Amino acid sequence: MIRALLLSAAALLALPAAAQDVAVVNATLVIGDGSPPIAGGTVVVRGGKIVSAGANIQIPAGIERVDAEGHYVTPGIVAAFSRVGLTEVDAVSGTNDRSAPRTRFSAGLDIAPALNPMGSPIAVNRAAGVTRAIVAPGGSSNLFAGQGAVVDLADDMDMVTRPRALQFVAFGEAGSAKAGGSRAATFLLFREQLLAARSYARNPAALAEWGNDAMIQRADADALIRVIEGATPLFVRVDRAADILNVLKLKGDFPALKLVLVGATEGWMVAREIAAAKVPVLVSPLTDLPGSFERLGATQSNAGRMKAAGIDVSVGVFDDDDAHKMGYATQYAGNLVGLAKMPGASGLSWDQAFASISSAPARAVGMDGEIGSLRPGRVGDVVIWDKDPLELGSRPRAIWIDGKRQPLTTRQDRLRDRYANPVEDAMPNAYDW
Amino acid sequence: MRRRTKGGLLAAVSLALAGCAAAGQDTKSARDAPAPAEKKADRFSKDPYPSTYHAYPGRVTAVRGVTVFDGEGGRIDNGTVVLAEGKVAGIGDADLPIPADAQLIDGTGKFLTPGVIDVHSHLGDYPTPSVDAHSDGNEATSPTTPEVWAEHSVWPQDPGFTRALANGGVTTLQILPGSANLIGGRSVVLKNVPARTVQGMKFPGAPYGLKMACGENPKRVYGGKGRMPSTRMGNFAVDRATWAKAAAYKKKLDAGKAVDRDLAMETLAGVLAGEILVHNHCYRADEMAFVIDMAREFGYKVTAFHHAVEAYKIADLLEKEGICAAMWADWWGFKMEAYDSVPENIALVNRAGACAIVHSDDENQIQRLNQEAAKALAAGRRMGMEISDAQAWSWLSYNPAKALGIADKTGSLKPGKMADVVLWNGNPFSAYTRPEKVWIDGALMFDAMDAKRRPVSDFELGQPGEGDVK
């Protein structure tokens, strides 16, 4: 069996990396936009993009057909908020580029050059069906963490789908720690830094007067101007209900801000206000413990209640492991489906749950025209699953990213195969590869 | 492992040493009474903080038409289980006689299992809210602290206990000291019932455990302070010196010689006498092999390796030595010794005939250990292993009960054993399934269909979300 597995791994590695035109037929087809699965569906990918998907789709002549044999076929999972590609082994600092606690810069930081497309977490997350990720920096020495990116998890060196796709900042307890010790300091520092950026924009010559101890550096100002103008969405980590309301009020001073709430553990308590502000929310949905005093209202029903209030809710994996286990997204979404059946609890329908890990995060970062669903014109990120993708232990049978067939073998698979029979035979295990 | 060693926060093994410099060294307890010497080494009371747990009132209950996993690999479709007087009174098919006074529960479409047992939890000693004032899991002031007892750190009002019950169906759990130290101290086994005191939760008759740790954590914590150990060889040297001292202490005790009471040595002598079970945090295969030899060198036995990320590399050795491995389904990459994780680890240990356990070490995953087992099961099946759902349930109840020395009392649905039982609203290996009812010693401690049958800890009383579904 080991030999057979190795051979199949070698075959996968030998796949051409060019975009293929392909039609996946006979699928239980999930578009990812919240619509129900389509039995006997087809999705057509040409030139790396989705051309059409649904029932009764015309298949272009001469195109490769892949029979899904009735299995679920979906867009790839979009990790809603993550550090994928920024770390290999968290405790090995040389491999860990999540945060830059000793830099002089903040908002100007751009994670793109820190991403490692060859890191083993890319392959492991891909093998769990994750094809895109919204990646945010962890933090700087200052209030703003810097600019994140939207990335793909393909087996190639070209990882960045959209650089500088978001700016990240934490309010609440984490923000207080950065700003000098209180929430009052956080809100003032936030406002002063944006005003400094604006004054720089109006009079760049003033930069000469800013020293290294200035409130922000030039690169930070450049990045913050884009935030003020709404060109870059501002992802805000915030949990306490009162903090959420105060963050929503930031639009009073800076009306063009494109806010996205991250965490929002007590969001259900102020769901009406979030919905009225039309601000999307990314949650790590199984957070149900009062881990801090800003999360006293934590409940797994948070996502369902906010969704019911009309909020655009995305499901992510970030209060536990935000870099290695993006495959938990499907598990978490599945939990919300189960929760919907419980008396007094709120969850999501299956269709909503799948959308919360595909099109919803794409929309939150302003890219639902490009990624996150099988609607025409989106990237050709397609997954054939072995069973219901929201069920435990479901795995992709095949994955395309930008229309390119992807290898599914991971370093973990190689270790498993080497030790399928751990006893050393004629030669040590080291020769088994 | 501990939350503080995840996510790049490695350095922060908390050192909040609020006031109390060393473990209380009081020497005499009113309960100290001479106990009959069995294997000796028991000059002092072995149970100075005895359990005051008692079963809560329960009704005679019969669940019918239910799919049963008995916890030892057995499955009954359309089964019947009767609970009476806190015990499993009967288990069988549709023909099992039902007492006339039994409350009947229709289990159609539902599953009945033994309660989940987590052998690795820090609920209570690292409770939520996770504020410094609550950080009581690691006495990280000395690399060996066998004198500390986790029960003295447990805060029974930790809201995490209620979540583990309601969302996880956890009925029994072992609270361990953290892994900063080579020898972290004694564990305590608890029934997952709300109580005013820790004694009110203590599992009657459960043996104590001793938490040990190898690898990165001890050498990082103490090496970082410029003291021994700073290397893996330092880890073993300190361990061996400590065991040598303990062996000498026990020899004196056994010979009836006078000894100054030494709480650390007392615990270690209890291990050498086979009364206290060793739970050894250890990730790497090569280190586990050395620990096995070290245990042989000093005459003790390792009951379970915890985390055991590389157990699959030595599954045959674990089987041969009769050592359990308590594992995660898929945690990896947070530190170097967790780099070689494979999703098939649990299934490979199971296949080798060794005792496989799914553990949490986490206040969140303890709420869905059934789901973690499901992922491990799926990984094993993808590799071609034939593992039944019922067999996989042994990873969650019977095997952990064995590792805690309580398999004669709980962990499977055998007549006469404690009625620690969960009724799931579907197959518990599905993401769509939740616990519907949880009984502990036959008392209904959680009922998803009854909002009042949901514990609210003191901490959450009067707070936002009090009594909410969680």
- List, for residues B69-88, the tens digit of each pLDDT value: 999 999 999 999 999 999 99
Question: Is the predicted pLDDT of residue B376 greater than 80, yes or no?
Answer: yes
Which of A412, A418, A429 has the highest number of chain B CBs within 10 A, making it the mutation to test binding with B?
A412
Question: Is the predicted pLDDT of residue B20 greater than 70, yes or no?
Answer: no
Residues in chain A closer than 8 A to B363 (CB atoms): 289
Search chain A and give the residue with CA nearest B217: A91
Search chain A and give the residue with CA nearest B331: A325
Which of B432, B459, B461 has the highest number of chain A CBs within 10 A, making it the mutation to test binding with A?
B432
On whether the CB atoms of residues A371 and A161 are closer than 8 A, the answer is yes
A419 close to B (CB below 8 A): yes
Q: What are phi and psi of B357, to 5 degrees?
A: -135, 140
pLDDT of B250-295, one tens digit each?
A: 999 999 999 999 999 999 999 999 999 999 999 999 999 999 999 9
B340 close to A (CB below 8 A): yes
pLDDT of B316-370, one tens digit each?
A: 999 999 999 999 999 999 999 999 999 999 999 999 999 999 999 999 999 999 9
Residues in chain B closer than 8 A to A240 (CB atoms): none
Q: What percent of chain B has pLDDT over 90?
A: 90
Q: Say whether both A145 and A272 belong to one domain.
A: yes
Residues in chain B closer than 8 A to A97 (CB atoms): none
Alpha-carbon gap: A328 to the closest alpha carbon of chain B (Å): 10
Q: Say whether both A416 and A354 belong to one domain.
A: no
Alpha-carbon gap: B197 to the closest alpha carbon of chain A (Å): 21
Token pair in block for residue B340: 């070689």
> Nearest CB to B470: which of A300, A391, A415?
A300
> What's the domain range around A404?
1-75+372-433
A142 close to B (CB below 8 A): no
Task: State which of A317, A352, A371 marks the end of a domain.
Answer: A371
Q: Say whether both A96 and A1 belong to one domain.
A: no
Question: Is the predicted pLDDT of residue B120 greater than 70, yes or no?
Answer: yes
Q: Do B434 and A395 touch (CB under 8 A)?
A: no
Q: How many domains does chain A have?
A: 2
Q: Quick one: which of B351, B370, B349 has its CA closest to B359?
A: B370
Q: Say whether both A64 and A146 belong to one domain.
A: no
Q: Do A90 and B382 touch (CB under 8 A)?
A: no
Q: Which domains does chain B have, with CATH numbers?
A: 116-411 (3.20.20.140)
Q: Say whether both A14 and A2 belong to one domain.
A: yes
Q: Say whether both A293 and A400 belong to one domain.
A: no
Q: Say whether both A344 and A423 belong to one domain.
A: no
- Which residues numbered 60-119 in A keep a CB inside 8 Å of some CB on B? 87-92, 96, 98-99
Q: Do A392 and B430 touch (CB under 8 A)?
A: yes
A349 close to B (CB below 8 A): no
What pLDDT does A252 receive?
A: 96
Search chain A and give the residue with CA nearest B339: A89
Q: Do A89 and B339 touch (CB under 8 A)?
A: yes
Task: State which of A332, A349, A371 marks the end of a domain.
Answer: A371
Q: Do B333 and A287 touch (CB under 8 A)?
A: no
Q: What is the mean pLDDT of chain B?
A: 92
Q: Say whether both A273 and A382 belong to one domain.
A: no
- Which residues numbered 354-413 in A keep a CB inside 8 Å of some CB on B? 390-395, 412-413
CATH number for A147? 3.20.20.140
Search chain B and give the residue with CA nearest A330: B431
Other beta carbons within 10 angstroms of residue A182's beta carbon come to 12
> CB neighbours of B385 closer than 8 A, spacing ≥ 6?
B347, B350, B351
Alpha-carbon gap: A332 to the closest alpha carbon of chain B (Å): 8
* pLDDT beneath 70, residues of chain A: 1-17, 208-213
CATH number for A1? 2.30.40.10
Q: How far apart are CA A230 and CA B228, in angstroms?
A: 54
Q: What is the mean pLDDT of residues B416-438?
A: 98
Q: Do A393 and B448 touch (CB under 8 A)?
A: no
Q: What is the mean pLDDT of residues B123-127?
A: 98
ipTM score over 0.85, yes or no: yes
Q: Do B367 and A91 touch (CB under 8 A)?
A: no
More confident of the two residues A431 and B41: A431
B454 close to A (CB below 8 A): no
Q: Say whether both A98 and A240 belong to one domain.
A: yes
Q: Say whether both A384 and A402 belong to one domain.
A: yes
B217 close to A (CB below 8 A): no
What pLDDT does A99 receive?
A: 97
Search chain A and give the residue with CA nearest B470: A299
A226 close to B (CB below 8 A): no
Alpha-carbon gap: A89 to the closest alpha carbon of chain B (Å): 5
pLDDT of A12-43, one tens digit each?
A: 444 445 778 999 999 999 999 999 999 999 99
Q: Do A422 and B312 touch (CB under 8 A)?
A: yes
Alpha-carbon gap: A300 to the closest alpha carbon of chain B (Å): 6
Q: How far apart are CA A356 and CA A30, in angstroms?
A: 13
Question: Is the predicted pLDDT of residue B24 greater than 60, yes or no?
Answer: no
A19 membership: H or E segment, kind and range = none
Alpha-carbon gap: A199 to the closest alpha carbon of chain B (Å): 37
What pLDDT does B43 receive?
A: 63
B385 close to A (CB below 8 A): no
> Nearest CB to A90: which of B8, B316, B368?
B8
Task: State which of A327, A352, A371 marks the end of a domain.
Answer: A371
Q: Say whether both A338 and A305 belong to one domain.
A: yes
Q: What percent of chain B has pLDDT over 70?
A: 91
Tell me the count of A-B CB pairs closer than 8 A.
180
Q: Which band of pLDDT confidence, cut at 50, 70 and 90, is reported for residue B6?
A: very low
Question: Is the predicted pLDDT of residue B195 greater than 70, yes or no?
Answer: yes
- Which residues numbered 85-144 in B keep a CB inside 8 Å of some CB on A? 128-131
Q: Say whether both A197 and A294 belong to one domain.
A: yes
A122 close to B (CB below 8 A): no
Q: Are strands A49-54 and A130-135 parallel, antiparallel or unpaired?
A: unpaired
What pLDDT does B18 receive?
A: 33
> Nearest CB to A416: which of B129, B342, B430?
B342
Residues in chain A closer than 8 A to B314 (CB atoms): 422
Question: Is the predicted pLDDT of residue B27 greater than 60, yes or no?
Answer: no
